[in-house]
Amino acid sequence: MTLDERFSGLKSPEAPDLWTDVERRVHHPSTTDLPRHLGSRRVGSAVSRAVAVVAVAAVFLWAFIGLSQLGSNPPDIPSAPVAAQPPGWVAQQAVRIATTNEDPNPTSAEWVLTSAKLIAPAVGLTPNQVSGREYLVVLHGRFTDSLAEVSPGAPLPTGTVVAFTLDPATHQVNDLGLNDQVVNVPGLRPFTLPPVSPRPGPAASSAAAKAAAQAAQAAQAAQAQALFEAQRLVALVRVPTGSRVASTAPVPALQKPATVPGGPYLLSAHRWWTSPLVPSDALAWLRAHPPAGLHPQGSGSGTTAGGSFTYLTFTDPAANASASATLLVEIAADGQGSALRADGQTLWIPPRTAAEQVPSDVQQVDLLAYRGGLSHVLDQATLSGAAAQRFARIVDGLSRDNWGPHGCTMDTGLRIQMTFPTQGPLVFTDVPACGTLTVSANGTTQPALRTDHALSAALSRQLRLP
């Protein structure tokens, strides 16, 4: 789990699989839950790239020795012109991390894009642990890591300097350090952070930290529930008499699942067996002995470089529809009988943040239907009082669209916009043909939601739609 995911709860509590090995690097876009504190990025010990980290309540010392051994222009990293200001996303990351550490208005900020080996000691790593180029951002202020996992009664980590690195490709936070030591890295340049609200007092900071921690716990609970469902699906599989569990794929054709659902929120579990039955007999046996409580959904076959396979698909009617709980049972020949594989797959559903919720006492909602653009308005209406609050309840009951970015061949261009004029205006735009609802809170895009029949029916009652 990356530190970017550790802090991304300020945007949305989305995160990848908590049960895979924690890596220092992530090579895919990740979004944004607020998982448990990875305190090892705040201690002096070096952490292997593929070793799970254990949170501790200590602040690491800056490793100046490593810096002194490196030149200002490493031979494998050519120098390049440096802009006065970093990219906008770097500045936004700086604001996000400063706010998380209870000082949204640091006294100063610096940045540099340079060799990862050069800046490794600034975040508690050694040069041999990293390669390539990274952004380093250094913030000065009064910081408290209110989300750190510390022993009962132990003080929270504090410091006047936060240093963190960013991946130029994925924009994710790779590593972070919090202490009181000066960071001396050649090329650091000052920059101005985007304006934020005035520094909150202790009570406001405590409330924000508590809300962030609650969001993290909710995200972890959602992931745990989805992973349990995936494991339960595998446990339901019945295999022919004489089958034996295998610790690895018995044949190359079953090294990977037959199909994988889209979206970044996949959680899965799997298991292999060998069976004395030949593939055709094993398939017939599995069809005659489906997993208890699951519905047969279909079958298929495929061929990979490792060989051919056949598979059966089952779904769990009791699971949340958005979780897409699916069980695959695959069969392939192994030269004597057959090899079997079962995959339980679920898409966990990230909880919605407070920023996406419409206040229950909202007094107005403006509805606008258009096609192709706001210049082609089809109908509009304004609801107030109880009618507006009914819409708020429907919208607040919608779940996240956990399929991630996806196309929609059925899109006709019809859009229905719902604007709640709250303190920070909330705008929900329905794409009826695609079942997706985009969200904007005070001008900031939020993760999309899934529409449902209740919302469609309510909109149809208030607007004349094609």
For 126-156, the pLDDT digits (tens) are: 899 888 999 999 999 999 876 565 566 678 8
The candidate with the shortest Cα–Cα distance to 57, out of 74, 38, 71, 84, is 38
As a whole number of angstroms, the distance between CA 436 and CA 263 comes to: 14
pLDDT band at 79 (very low <50, low <70, confident <90, very high): very low
Buried b (16+ CB within 10 A) or exposed e, 292-318: eebeeeeeeeeeeeeeebbbbbbbbee
For 238-257, the pLDDT digits (tens) are: 999 999 999 999 999 999 99
Six token digits for residue 201: 């007092």
Q: What is the pLDDT of residue 55?
A: 29
For 213-247, the pLDDT digits (tens) are: 777 777 788 888 888 899 999 999 999 999 999 99
**Does the pLDDT at position 332 exceed 60?**
yes
Over residues 30-49, mean pLDDT: 31
pLDDT band at 312 (very low <50, low <70, confident <90, very high): very high
Amino acid at 431: V
pLDDT band at 46 (very low <50, low <70, confident <90, very high): very low
Q: What is the pLDDT of residue 204?
A: 53
Q: What is the pLDDT of residue 453?
A: 87
pLDDT band at 313 (very low <50, low <70, confident <90, very high): very high
The candidate with the shortest Cα–Cα distance to 35, out of 44, 47, 27, 26, is 26
Among the residue ranges 107-116, 258-267, 278-287, the one predicted with the least confidence is: 258-267
Q: What is the pLDDT of residue 9?
A: 41
As a whole number of angstroms, the distance between CA 141 and CA 161 comes to: 6
pLDDT band at 373 (very low <50, low <70, confident <90, very high): confident
**Does the pLDDT at position 288 exceed 80?**
yes
Which own/partner pairs from 125-134 qualify as long-range (CB within 8 Å, at least 24 positions apart)?
A: 125/46, 125/47, 125/175, 126/46, 126/63, 126/66, 127/66, 127/69, 127/70, 129/24, 129/46, 129/47, 129/48, 129/49, 133/77, 133/168, 134/165, 134/166, 134/167, 134/168, 134/174
Among the residue ranges 28-32, 74-78, 294-298, 340-344, the one predicted with the least confidence is: 28-32
Q: What is the pLDDT of residue 41?
A: 35
Q: What is the pLDDT of residue 444?
A: 83
Over residues 373-383, mean pLDDT: 89
Query: Which residue did the predictor score with more confidence, 66 or 399?
Result: 399
Show Cβ contacts of residue 280 under 8 Å, excluding neighbours closer than 6 positions.
Answer: none
As a whole number of angstroms, the distance between CA 227 and CA 192 comes to: 42
Among the residue ranges 73-87, 132-146, 412-426, the one predicted with the least confidence is: 73-87
How much is the mean pLDDT over the chain?
77
Q: Which residues on neighbouring strands pair with residue 295, listed in sequence order? A: 315
**Does the pLDDT at position 81 exceed 50?**
no
Q: What is the pLDDT of residue 420?
A: 92
Over residues 294-301, mean pLDDT: 93
For 95-129, the pLDDT digits (tens) are: 878 877 788 889 999 999 999 999 999 988 889 98
Q: What is the pLDDT of residue 147?
A: 58
pLDDT band at 165 (very low <50, low <70, confident <90, very high): very high
For the chain, give the percent of residues with pLDDT over 70. 76
Q: What is the pLDDT of residue 156?
A: 80
Buried b (16+ CB within 10 A) or exposed e, 85-104: ebeeebbebbbbbbbbbbbb
pLDDT band at 203 (very low <50, low <70, confident <90, very high): low
